[in-house]
Each structure stands twice: as C-alpha cells, then as structure tokens.
Structure 1
C-alpha cells in the first residue's frame, strides 16, 4: 500500500493547481540578491508560450477560490499566474505578453506604496519603481487583476495584532478604491505568517491567502495558507516546466521526461 504521505504528494502533483509566483519582469539589471526574482521579458515570453502550447488555461484568484471551495469547476489544466509587489516594469513587459497570449494574471500590490518605490528592500540595495493608481487601472484593463500584498510589506508574523489588522484592512480599502472591485485575496509579504496572522487575515475580509511554501494548490488545503510555485529567474527552461508540472524544484530529475510540443524542454 502506498504510504499516506506519498499518496497525498502524488495527488497534489496530479490534481493540484500551479499558482506561479513571479515578481519582476524586466531587462534592467538588478542587484545579485534580487536576481532570483527577476525574469527577463524574453524568458517570460517563452514561459507563457510554453504554457499556451501545453494548453494551460489561466484562472483568476476568484476563480480558484470558488473552485477550491467546490462551488464551480475549473477549465482543463488550470494555472494561476501571480506577481508580487506591483512593479512598473510588469505593466511595460509582462502585461502585453499575457494579453497577446489571451491570458490573465493577478498582481499582489503593496497598497501603501502605490506610486512609490520598493523601500522595504532598501537595505539590500534594491530600489524599484512601483505602479501608481493610473498604472494599476491600466494593468487591470490589460487583464491583470490587483489584489493585496499588505500596506507596507512588513513581516507580518513579527508584528502585533493591531498592526497586522491595520496592514490588511487598509490595504483592502486602498485597492478597492483604486480598482472599484472587491479585494479578497492576499499574498503574505516575505511569506511571513503564522496561525495568528492567518486568523487576522480571515477577520479582515480575505477568503484566500498565499504563502511562499512550494506546491500546487488543492481544495483540501487551508484557503488562507495556500502554496505557490516559485519562478526563479536563474532557472533553465526545463526547471520552469518541471516546477509547473510538479510544483517542486525537480528540474534535474525530470529533464528528458518533461516534453513540450516543441520537444524536450531545455
């Protein structure tokens, strides 16, 4: 008999939904500490084309929320593409590529820094421009929905209850004012959360929340602690495909087994 843990892992690989976690899509150089979070437009275009050729269908945060609750079915081979932070270059580069492929995505926005810079990474020498209110609306018109990445991008698990609640409630208020639609999905900044933060997120009106824990999302998961599949800008294309298929970093082990319509992924 297959051990229960192994059976659960196999089910996640077979039936789970990959929620891809991107940050920056840009040609501009970045400090080495941020290189894993930057994907060039050329690489991003190839990844999107691979998803299209493999017949993946993009779904929104709301689509996935309802499906995981058993309220509606998903299309065959669903994938949820997400971006964290709200960088200007994602509007310049990622949105046109997605729109050209007929795909949607979700941008998790640091609501209190709209129109500002990535000041939470100042100590690492990373200073990137963030979309302003007009840019966020343009992003939505291109098919990329805006949801919450907190107000100022703190490590929520290290902050007191009142501050966590303020970060999450005010972020929703800002973004709902900008977009005109409900904001009920959250990506925890730095992946920082615990049971206390999770509870406050639910009390603050969020119905789904994403972590940085690796894996595909299943209906049996805690909807306020969903896993994602990290896209690393340093990876080869085979590793990207392997991550999408398995939810894990296993490119070396499956190279030669994962094939696209163009042949073996490289």
Structure 2
C-alpha cells in the first residue's frame, strides 16, 4: 500500500484505493474474527504477503482506524532489508523490521511465514523444502513469542509434497492464490488477489477503483515473469543477504 506509484512491480495499491477497498468491504461483509473451517462466505480477512514496510506505514494505520486486523506473511531472510528477491528494476523497497512485526503481533494481527527466502517450494528437494518452512517458522516464533501456524506459499506454488511437509513441521493453515481444490482443507485457503493488475478480477472490487488505476497495470505484467525466472535460477543452498551473509 503506497502513496506514490511504483512502476517496478504490480503488487501494490494506492493509499486512496486501499481506503475505498476497506470501506467497501466493511459495507458488504464482516471482519473474520478467527480462522475456522468451513470458511464463512460473508466474512473477510485482509492478508499481505512479503511484509513490506508500506503495509506498516500505510495500511496498518488505516485498518487500525476502522478496527480491523490483518495478516502478514514474512520472508525471514529479508526482515528489515530490501526486496532483492523481487522484480525491482532498480527501485527496491524495504521489508518491515523486527519491531514493526512485533507491534503488529501485539496489535492482534496474524503473523505467518512466507518462508526464509521466497523460493518456489515446488522446485526444492525435501531437505531444502523443510529448511525454508522450518527455519522461518522457528525464527518468527522466537521473535513474537507465540506459535506460528500460518503459511503463504511463495508465488502461490504448492502441491501434495509441499503441503505434507508444511503440516509435518507444524503449520495448520496454508494461504494460496487460486485454490487447487478442496482436498487440502485448511492448507489450501484461497485468496482474491487485490493489486493493480488483479483488482479488476475480484468480485465487485473494481467498483472501488479510480479509472486512472488501470493505466498503471501494464508495467506490472513483467513481474510474474521475472519472479518465475528468478525462482528457477536461485542457488540451491538458500539465499544470500545483500551484504553477503546467509540466514542460518
């Protein structure tokens, strides 16, 4: 959620646009109080992948004013660092630091894992997969002092093997993009994408968009291509920080 355009990637919306989304959702639906199955059709939960700083600076105050709590999914290798895993095209953004994550947790937000380094989980061997899931979970639990049982799959990529490994290390809820069907239960929570290129696909959410928003969707179409290629080309042994340090 940003105040100014960010042409390097499309996974964002304007502050004004986000306000309209919040007001629309509050008119039509009820905020979800707690995760449960079956998921109620008339309740909503706003989730943010990556835990970028714009969520803390811009989305959090607007949601707090309206009595809303959300969920963030944190890439633990990049806490407080730039989003070098993403298609920045020379315009990187910062992820939240530890204090922001702790503050959101204490405010009642769900703090979930987005793995350690945002690698495509379906491309990893079993040892790498377990490391991505287990290390990030433990790191966040140590940080916020409570169990972390929610996971968002990087790039929305998951399969039976990924789900089973996630359950094995202690996750109970898995957030996806479009659903792969009901066979995974709580590990297959579908979500409606809400960002510049996707918001028009959500049911009625286009009503909350200003006409100028559509003009900013074209550059963002490059981001998924970049992300898929980057996930294939990443080294097999974890990620490296921008200053060369690994996450152990």
TM-score bracket, shorter-length normalisation: 0.7 to 0.9
Contact 1:106 1:144 in 2 (8 A): yes
Matches within 5 A, 1:108-257: 108-121=73-86, 124-125=89-90, 127-213=92-178, 222-234=185-197, 240-242=202-204
Alpha-carbon distance in structure 2 between the residues aligned to 1:38 and 1:138: 22
What TM-score comes out, normalization by structure 2 length? Answer: 0.74
Contact 2:76 2:139 in 1 (8 A): yes
Instruction: State the shift of 1:200 in Å.
Output: 0.8
Contact 2:78 2:95 in 1 (8 A): yes
2:244 maps to what in 1?
none
Select the structure that is richer in strand: 1
Q: Which runs of 5+ in 2 are unaligned?
A: 207-248
Q: Secondary structure at the match of 1:31?
A: coil
Q: Find runs of 4+ consecutive structure 1 residues off by over 3 angstroms.
A: 122-126, 238-241
Alpha-carbon distance in structure 1 between the residues aligned to 2:189 and 2:110: 18
How many residues are matched? Answer: 206
Instruction: State the shift of 1:142 in Å.
Output: 3.8
Alpha-carbon distance in structure 1 between the residues aligned to 2:64 and 2:106: 10
Alpha-carbon distance in structure 2 between the residues aligned to 1:162 and 1:221: 22
Instruction: State the shift of 1:235 in Å.
Output: 6.0
* CA RMSD after TM alignment: 2.6
Instruction: State the shift of 1:242 in Å.
Output: 2.5
Contact 2:175 2:187 in 1 (8 A): yes
Instruction: State the shift of 1:169 in Å.
Output: 0.5
Instruction: State the shift of 1:28 in Å.
Output: 3.1
Q: Which runs of 5+ in 1 are unaligned?
A: 1-24, 245-266
Alpha-carbon distance in structure 2 between the residues aligned to 1:143 and 1:40: 24
